[in-house]
Amino acid sequence: MLFWLLLLFILVPFIELVILIFLGDHIGFWPTFALIVLMGIVGFLMVRSQGFSVIQRIKADVFAGTPPAQALIDGLLIFAGGLLLITPGLITDIVGLLLLFPMSRIKISKILTPWVLDKIFKSGSKYFNKL
């Protein structure tokens, strides 16, 4: 696990920096800067609107007496998308924006949810067997 975290925190910023330098060489500093700022503004507006819609869905689910599981997962993915948009770089911005679009978020959720549940149950059974 430590290896993957180190790889993530070293390799991803390096790749982002290489892409930004490459893009800056081809289109110039100011257009690259404007692209990063524009992605941040669009991301902020999307996080805000999608976040409000998820809060409304959670309230509606709770009011109806049903567990707001899918709305909470969507909220978590929107939060992750917002965090990725804060970090400078184009790859993280693209992944962050993908997490903010409802159609791509649904597809990502269908892939991630079973994987996360599997990890939770495997690690939980490891601790419950010791009791």
Q: What is the tens place of the pLDDT at every residue in 73-110?
A: 889 999 999 888 888 888 999 999 999 988 999 899 89
pLDDT of residue 85: 87
If you ran DSSP here, which 8-state letter would residue 66 be given?
S
pLDDT of residue 124: 63
pLDDT of residue 126: 61
Low-confidence ranges of the chain (pLDDT < 70): 124-131
Which pTM does this prediction carry? 0.79
pLDDT of residue 104: 92
Q: How many helices (H) and strands (E) does the chain have?
A: 5, 0
* Burial of residue 89 (number of CB atoms within 10 Å: 0-12, 13-18, 19+): buried
